[in-house]
Amino acid sequence: MKKNKRLEKQFAKQFLNHAGRQNFAAVEELGAVKEFVGKTPELKGFLEGPQFSVGEKKGVMEEFCKRLSISEGTRKFFDYVIEQEAMALLEGIAGDAVKLYLDYARRAKAVVISAVDFPAGGPLEGRLKGSLKKLTGRDVDIEYVRDPSVLGGVLVKVDSTMFDSSLKGQLRILKEELIKG
User: What mean pLDDT, rounded, does the chain reach?
Assistant: 86
What is residue 82's predicted lDDT score, i.e. its pLDDT?
A: 93
Residue 80 is predicted with a pLDDT of: 93
If pLDDT is split at 50, 70 and 90, which confidence band does 55 have?
Answer: very high
The count of structural domains within the chain is 2
128 contacts 142 by C-beta, under 8 angstroms: yes
| Beta carbons of 39 and 29 less than 8 angstroms apart | no
Expressed as residue numbers, the domain containing 120 is: 106-180
Q: Are residues 97 and 111 in the same domain?
A: no
Indicate whether 88 and 157 sit together in one domain.
no
Per-residue buried b or exposed e for 48-74, using 16+ beta carbons within 10 Å of the residue's own CB? beeeeeeeebbeebeebbeeeebeeeb
More confident residue, 152 or 146: 146
Contacts of 93 (CB under 8 A, 6+ apart): 8, 11, 12, 15, 30, 34, 81, 86
SS3 122: coil
- Predicted confidence at residue 1, as pLDDT, reads 60
16 and 79, same domain (yes or no): yes
Q: Please report the DSSP string for 37-98 in residue order.
A: HHH-HHHHHHHH-TTS-HHHHHHHHHHHHHHTT--HHHHHHHHHHHHTT-GGGHHHHHHHHH
Q: What is the pLDDT of residue 83?
A: 93
Q: Are residues 110 and 98 in the same domain?
A: no
Query: In terms of domains, do 151 and 77 share one?
Result: no
Q: What is the DSSP letter of 113?
A: E
Other CB atoms within a 10 A radius of the CB of residue 43 amount to 17
Same-domain pairing of 112 and 136: yes
pLDDT of residue 165: 82
- Summarize pLDDT for 123-149 with one digit per residue, the tens: 888 888 888 888 888 888 888 888 888
* Model confidence at 58: pLDDT above 90: yes
Same domain, 148 and 172: yes
Domain boundary among 103, 135, 159: 103
Q: Say if residue 86 is in the same domain as residue 112.
A: no
- Is 99 in the same domain as 20? yes
Helices and strands in the chain: count of H runs, count of E runs? 8, 4
Q: Are residues 93 and 174 in the same domain?
A: no
Rounded-to-integer distance, Cα 129 and Cα 87, Å: 36
The one-letter amino acid at 140: V
Are 91 and 151 within one domain? no
Indicate the residue among 103, 132, 154 that finishes a domain.
103
Domain final residue pick, 103, 120, 141: 103
Whole-angstrom distance, CA of residue 81 vs CA of residue 7:
11
Determine how β-strand 107-114 pairs with β-strand 154-158.
antiparallel
With a cut of 70, say whether residue 157 has pLDDT above it: yes
Cα 31 from Cα 90, distance rounded (Å):
9
- 112 shares a domain with 79: no
